[in-house]
A and B are shown apart, each in its own frame.
Chain A
Amino acid sequence: MSKQIKIKKLGINVSAIVLLYIILKSAITFGLITRYHQGIIIFIMINIILATSLNLATGFLGQLTLGHAGFMAVGAYASAITSIEVRALLPNMPDFMLLIISLIIAAIAAGIVGVLIGIPALRLRGDYLAIITLGFGEVIRVVINNMRGLTGGAQGLTGIPRIVKFDSVFWVTVFVVLILYRLTHSRQGRAIMSIREDEIAAEAVGIKTTHFKVMGFAFAAGLAGVGGGLYANYLAFLDPNTFNFMRSVEILVIVVLGGMGSLTGSIIAAIVLTIMPEALRSFADYRLLLYSFLLVVMMIFRPEGLFGRREFSFDGVKEKFFNKDKIQEKTNIS
C-alpha cells in the first residue's frame, strides 16, 4: 500500500471518529439524549473494550478463555480502590488525572494477574485451557468476595469517586481499540495469529510461542482491566458477584457474534448486544434464552460470526462496489 493511500485511509478513519464524537457530544450537551441513553452509550463502549480485548486472546491468539470477567474484576477493584485512596490523599486532584492514574493501575494490576495466570495456564491446550481459565475466574471472584477489608466483600464496594463521563469513556475506548488494531497489524500481531493457525508450525518457523501467548493474554487482561476500571468509576459501586462466569460468557457471545478475529465485528456486535436488551425491555425474561439460542445457532450455521476474520474498512466497501474485477479474498494485514 502506497504512502498516499495510507495517509488517506488514516484521514478517513480519524475524521469518522472525530465526527462521531462531535455528534454524540453535542447530542448530550443539548439534552437530545437522555441520562438513561447516555448510560447505554457508556455501557456500549465499556463492552466494546471488553469484547475487543477478549477477541485478542480468543479470536487472534486462538485461546478460548472463560475467565475474562475475572480480569475485568481485578481492574475494576484496582481502579476503585486507587481512586478512593488517592482522592482521600489529594482531594484537589482534577477528575481526569485521577481517572488516568486509576486506569493505569487497573491495567497494570489486571495485566499482572493475566501474566500470573497465563504462564501456567497457557501450557494447556483447547478444552483444558478454557476450563482452567474458568477455574481461575471463579477463584478471583471468591477471593474478592472474601477480602472484605480491602474490597468490601459480598457487601460490595461503595464510595467510589464517580469520575467517568462520556468524554473519558469515548476516548479511552478509541485508545484501546487503536492499541489493539496496531498490535494485530504488526509483526507481533502476525506472530500471535500464527499461533492460532498452527502452533507447531509457528514454533517451526522461529516464533517464540510461549512469549507471544503470554503477551497476548496479558494485553487482553490489562485492557479488560481498563474496561473494569471505567465500569467501577462510572457505576461508583461494585458487587463481586457481577463478575461471574455468566459475565464472561456474555462477553464471549459478543465476540462470537461479531466474528472471532475481527475488531470491527466486536464493535458492532457490542453495540447490538448492548442495545438489544434495552430495546427489548418487555422481553427481559427471554433475553438470556435468546442469547444462548443465538449462540448455538451461530456455532452451527455461521461459526465465523458476522465479520469472520475481516475488518470493515471504508475503502473496502468502495472497492467492492467500484472495483468489481479486483475482488479477491483479502485479509487486511499486509
Chain B
Amino acid sequence: MTLLEASNISMQFGGLRAVDNFNLSIDQHELVGLIGPNGAGKTTVFNMLTGVYKPTEGDIRIEGLSVVGKKPYQIVKAGAARTFQNIRLFKDLTVLDNIKIAFHNQMKYSTLTGLLRLPGYWKGEAEAHESCMAFLEIFDMGEYADTLAKNLPYGKQRKLEIARALATKPKILLLDEPAAGMNPQETHELMETIRFIREKFDIAILLIEHDMNLVMNVCERIVVLDYGKIIAKGTPEQTRNNPDVIRVYLGEQVKTC
C-alpha cells in the first residue's frame, strides 16, 4: 500500500494560491526530494502534510487513512514525523529529555499512576530511560544525554532534531531543509545520517532542500515545485537535465560532487 498519498491538494491564502493541485505518492523505503526556488510553496506543502495547515482542497492519506484536517499530533500518531527549517528543539531541556518527550506516546502510565508513584510509573520511566539512551547511542550522542539542547553545536542540534522525530517511531520522516546553515563538513555528516537512518529504520523520507549536492546524491526521486505547481518529476539524472528545471533555477548550478 502507498505510505503517503497526497491527492490534488491545494492551499489558498485569501487571494494567493500558494500550492496548486499538488500530487505525491510515496511508498515504503523511498527517499524523495522536494525542490524549487524560494517561495515555491515547499514548506506550505510540508505544513499541509503535517497538519499545520488544512488544505483548501484535496486529500491526504497515510497508509490509506485520510488525515486531511487532522491536527499535527494526530498525524504523528498516524506515522508521519517532521523537522523544521529553523531547528525547534526544547532548548532549555536536556538532550535526553528531548528524546523522552518524543517517546511520550510509547509510554503508557496514566497521570494518576504517576502521582501515586505506582509500579507502573517506575517501570515506565525505567524503560523509557533505557530506550531513549539506547536511541541516543545509535546516533552517537549518548555522551550528550545530560547536556542542555541549546548548548549543542549546530550540526548536533540538527541531528538531535532528526533523532527526536524518529523517536516517535514514524513510517515516514519529513525533513524541512535539514542542511540549512550547515558548512560542507556538517552537510556531509548529514548525508551520512540520512543514509544511515534509511537503512536502520526502514522508513520513507521526504525532504525539502536547497543544497543540490545533497539532493542529487541522496534522493531516489525528485519533485520540483515552482509557484505552487509541480513542474517536473523524476530521477536526479532526469531532473538535472530537465530544461524547465534549469530555466527555473537560472543561474544556479546543478552538479555532482
Q: Do chains A and B touch in the complex (CB under 8 A)?
A: yes
B139 within 8 A of A: no
* Residues in chain A near residue B84, CB distance under 8 A: 200-201, 204
A190 within 8 A of B: yes
A334 within 8 A of B: yes
Q: Please tell me which one of the listed residues A206, A208, A334 contacts residue B97 in the complex, with CB atoms under 8 A apart.
A: A334
B128 touches A182 (CB 8 A): no
| Chain A 177-194: CB-based contact to B (< 8 A → 1; otherwise 0) | 001001100111111011
B100 touches A204 (CB 8 A): no
A215 within 8 A of B: yes
B119: min CB distance to chain A, Å = 13
- Leading 10 A-B pairs by shortest Cβ distance: A186-B114, A206-B76, A197-B90, A201-B88, A203-B72, A205-B102, A194-B101, A206-B105, A198-B88, A206-B73
**Range of interface residues on chain B?**
35 or more
B32 within 8 A of A: no
B101 touches A202 (CB 8 A): yes
* Chain A contact residue count (CB 8 A cutoff): 31
* Residues in chain B near residue A204, CB distance under 8 A: 50, 72, 76, 81-82, 84, 88, 165
| Chain A 300-329: CB-based contact to B (< 8 A → 1; otherwise 0) | 000000000100000000000000000011
A187 touches B88 (CB 8 A): no
B92 within 8 A of A: yes
Given contacts A186-B114, A204-B81, contact A209 B148 (CB under 8 A): no
B90 touches A198 (CB 8 A): yes
Q: Which residues of B contact A (CB under 8 A)?
A: 50, 52, 71-73, 76-77, 81-82, 84, 88-94, 96-97, 100-102, 104-105, 107, 109, 111, 114-115, 117, 121, 124-125, 128-129, 145-148, 151, 164-165, 167-168
Cα–Cα distance between A179 and B117 once the two chains are bound (Å) = 10
| Chain A 270-310: CB-based contact to B (< 8 A → 1; otherwise 0) | 00000000000000000000000000000000000000010
Given contacts A187-B107, A190-B100, A206-B73, contact A197 B168 (CB under 8 A): no
- Most B CB within 10 A of own CB, among A183, A187, A331, A334: A187
* Residues in chain A near residue B129, CB distance under 8 A: 334
| Chain A 202-228: CB-based contact to B (< 8 A → 1; otherwise 0) | 111111110000010000000000000
